[in-house]
Structure 1
Amino acid sequence: LSLQVSNGPGLGDERTTSLLLLGFLQSCPNSCFQRELEALGHEFSGHLFHDDELQTDGNRSSYFSVAAETDSERQEEAVREVARQLAQIGDRLEGSIRPGMVASLASRFSVRSLSEEDRRQCLADALEQLMRTCPADVDHEKTQLLLTMLLAKKIADHSPALLRDVFRTTVTFINQNLLASVRNLVRSEMD
C-alpha cells in the first residue's frame, strides 16, 4: 500500500469526501448504526453540505451565482450516485473482511487515548492486509477507497457508538491518501 500525501484537501474536498462516505453508509441497508447515522446526517446537513458561508455580521455570503449553485448541486448528486454504486459493489466484497479484523479495529478505535494519527494508521494497516488478497487486475485506488469505506461501515456495525470517530478518521484518511480517486470517480460521473 503506497500512501500518497497530497497538497492537502481543500474545503470542497472535505465536503465531497464527507458526502461520499455519508452516502455510502446511508446506502448500506440493515446496518446496526442507523440511528447514529441519522443524527450524523442531520448534524452535517446544517453546515457541511451548504456552500454559503456565515459572515461575521451574521449574514449569509451571496457571492455564489446561480450557475455555481447548479454546478454544486450537480456535483453533489454525482457524489451521491458514486456512493450508491460503491455501496452496491461493497455488498459483494463485504464477506472478504474477517470479523476478527473488525473486532480488533473496533477495539482499537474504542481506546480514547489513541491519537487520530494512530487510528488512521490502524485503518491503513487493515487496508494493506485486505489489499494483499485482491486480484492483481483490479483498479487498486478504487478498491482501496471501497475497502476503506467498507471498513468504516463494518466498525460502525460492530460498535455503533464509534460511528462519529470512525467517520472523521475515515474522511481524513481518504483525503490524505485517496483523494485523487474520489475526484476521478466524481468527475467521471459528472461527464
Structure 2
Amino acid sequence: MDPQVSNGAGLQDEYITDLLVFGFLQNCSNYKFHKELEVLGHELPVPAHLWEDYDDELQTDGNRSSNFSRGRREADEETEVQRRVNDSPQMSDSQRQEEIIQNIARRLAEVGDSMESSIHPGLVNNLALQFRNVNLSEEERREHLAAALQQVMQTFPQDMAEEKTMLMLAMLLAKKVADHTPSLLRDVFRTTVNFINQNLLAYVRHLTRNETD
C-alpha cells in the first residue's frame, strides 16, 4: 500500500490518523481532559498553529465555550481553511493536508457532540475499566474497543455511511473514556489510532483524497 496520501510530498498514514483523532478530541465540546490533551499535543508532531489562541476558547471551568459561539467560530475557521487551501500557493502539500484533516475532524466532532448522549454510561464505565487493566496487551485493548463499538453500532441510527459511523463512534468512545478517566487519554488515544489504522485506514485515505481533489 502506498504510504502517501497523494502523489509527491504528503503525510504518512500514521500521522494522518494521529492528527484526525487529536483534532476530533480537541474540537469536542465540554470535555474534562484539557490538561491531558495539551500534554499529548506537545508529545505528538501536531502543527503549532492548532494550539494558537486555544486557551482563549476555554471557559474558566475548563470547558469549551457555548455551542452558539463555537458554531460561529467554527464556521469562520472553516471559511479560513478553505481560503488558505485554495488561495495560498506557498502552502506545501503537507500543510494543505493538515488543514484538510483538521476540517474533517471538526465536522466529525460536531456529529459526535450531537450523538454522545446516546452512548450508555455503563458501556463507557466498562470500557474505562478495561483500559485501567495494566495487564492487558494493546491487541486486547483494541478488541475491547471493537466490542464496545459493535454494541454502540447496533443501537445507533443508521443515517450515515457505515464506515463514517464507525470512524466517528470509535473516536467518540475514546472521548467518553477520557472524560470518565482523564489519565487514560494517552492509552485510549493510541489504541483508537491503532484500531483506525487497522480497520478504517482506507476510508480515512478516501476522505482525505476527496477533500484534496
Whether the TM-score (by the shorter chain) exceeds 0.5 is yes
Number of the residue aligned with 1:131: 153
The answer on 1:155 being equivalent to 2:172 is: no
Following the alignment from structure 2 to structure 1, what is the Cα–Cα distance between the partners of residues 131 and 42?
Answer: 23
Number of the residue aligned with 2:95: 73
Following the alignment from structure 1 to structure 2, what is the Cα–Cα distance between the partners of residues 139 and 186?
Answer: 16
Number of the residue aligned with 2:38: 38
Following the alignment from structure 2 to structure 1, what is the Cα–Cα distance between the partners of residues 176 and 169?
Answer: 10
Q: Over residues 51-91 of structure 1, what are the superposed CA-to-partner deviations in whole Å (9 max), with x where a residue is unaligned?
A: xxxxxxxxxxxxxxxx8971110000000000000000111
Following the alignment from structure 2 to structure 1, what is the Cα–Cα distance between the partners of residues 196 and 106?
Answer: 17
- How far is 1:44 from its partner? 1.0
Following the alignment from structure 1 to structure 2, what is the Cα–Cα distance between the partners of residues 23 and 157?
Answer: 16
Aligned partner of 1:151: which letter? L
Aligned partner of 1:168: which letter? R
Number of the residue aligned with 1:115: 137
- How far is 1:138 from its partner? 2.8
RMSD: 2.1
C-alpha change, 1:8 and 1:144, in structure 2 (3 Å) is farther
Number of the residue aligned with 1:24: 24
Equivalent pairs: percent with the same residue?
Answer: 57
**3-state DSSP class of the match of 2:134?**
coil
The answer on 1:103 being equivalent to 2:137 is: no
Following the alignment from structure 2 to structure 1, what is the Cα–Cα distance between the partners of residues 32 and 157?
Answer: 30
Structure 2 gaps of 5+ residues are 5-10, 49-88
Higher RCO, Cα 8 Å, sep 6+: 1
Aligned length: 167
**3-state DSSP class of the match of 2:44?**
helix
Structure 1 runs, 4 residues or longer, greater than 6 Å off: 8-11
What is the TM-score of this pair, normalised by structure 1?
0.81
Number of the residue aligned with 2:14: 14
Structure 1 gaps of 5+ residues are 1-6, 51-66
- How far is 1:28 from its partner? 1.1
Q: Is the 8 A contact 1:19 1:49 kept in 2?
A: no
